[in-house]
């Protein structure tokens, strides 16, 4: 295990890779990805389910009942249902959020998508976002997917972050540079 990864991150990545490989081998990758997305929506919107699954004092039988019920209601693939039951059996179900996020990253990476963060000073229209995404995707040679936010404190401009690469054209940043230059002189 690498020194800068926590046990939970390392474990989550291993489980998500296992689910990814099993789903790919059984040609269910798209279905499992959709199932995971639906599960995440439910998990993040329901504090009761989140607390229940993350609570290590819950009995295995109760957790299995809940997963069986959820898998029927959300129409999970057989592989995903069995995977969740395995997580319960191995007492790893409290990692389910990290495992889900890691699995979705693997699916995105397989499609050649790159995650990026875009922050603008004003609300951008859908067509403006699509155009920025298309232009950057062409120049990067990969499909770009944005996490988009609006931050009025930027005054003007935008910030784009791709991994460790950052482009900051915000007026706030420029003003900070001028302030720093004035303080240094």
Average predicted confidence (pLDDT) for the chain: 87
pLDDT grade, residue 135 (50/70/90)?
Answer: confident
Q: What pLDDT, on a 0 to 100 scale, did the predictor assign at position 4?
A: 59
Give the residue extent of every domain in the chain. Answer: 7-109, 113-184
Per the confidence metrics, is the pTM higher than 0.75? no
Say what percent of the chain tops pLDDT 90.
Answer: 42
C-alpha separations of 61 from 65, 67, 129, 152 in Å: 6, 10, 47, 49
DSSP the chain: --TTS-HHHHHHHHHHHHHHHHHHHTT-HHHHHHHHHHHHHHHHH-HHHHHHHH-TTS-HHHHHHHHHHHHHHTT--HHHHHHHHHHHHTT-GGGHHHHHHHHHHHHHHHTTEEEEEEEESSPPPHHHHHHHHHHHHHHHTSEEEEEEEE-GGG-SSEEEEETTEEEE--HHHHHHHHHHHHHH-
**48-80 pLDDT, tens per residue?**
988 888 888 889 999 999 999 999 999 999 999
Tokens for 183, please give them: 């303080």
Instruction: Look at residues 144, 150, 153 and name the one whose alpha carbon lies nearest to residue 173.
Output: 153
Q: Which residues, 6+ apart, have CB-to-CB distance to 108 below 8 Å?
A: 115, 145
- Of 10-14, 34-38, 80-84, the least confident: 10-14
- Of 64-73, 78-87, 107-116, the least confident: 107-116
Higher pLDDT, 1 or 88: 88
- Residue 121 near residue 155, CB atoms below 8 Å: yes
**3-33 pLDDT, tens per residue?**
456 777 888 899 999 999 999 999 999 999 9
- Identify the CATH number of the domain defined by range 7-109: 1.10.520.20
């Amino acid at each position: 295990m690498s020194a800068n990864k926590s046990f939970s991150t390392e474990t989550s990545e291993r489980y998500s890779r296992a689910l990814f490989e099993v789903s790919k081998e059984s040609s269910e990758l798209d279905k499992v990805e959709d199932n995971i997305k639906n599960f995440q929506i439910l998990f993040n919107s329901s504090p009761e389910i989140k607390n229940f699954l993350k609570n290590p004092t819950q009995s295995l039988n109760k957790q299995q009942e809940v997963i069986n019920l959820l898998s029927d209601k959300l129409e999970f693939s057989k592989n995903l249902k069995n995977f969740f039951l395995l997580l319960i059996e191995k007492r790893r179900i409290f990692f389910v959020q990290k495992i889900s996020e890691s699995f979705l990253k693997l699916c995105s990476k397989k499609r050649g998508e790159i995650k990026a963060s875009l922050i603008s000073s004003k609300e951008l229209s859908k067509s403006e976002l699509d155009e920025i995404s298309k232009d950057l995707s062409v120049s990067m040679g990969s499909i770009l997917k944005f996490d988009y936010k609006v931050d009025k404190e930027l005054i003007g401009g935008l910030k784009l972050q791709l991994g460790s690469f950052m482009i900051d054209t915000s007026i706030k940043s420029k003003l900070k540079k001028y302030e720093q230059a004035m303080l240094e002189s």
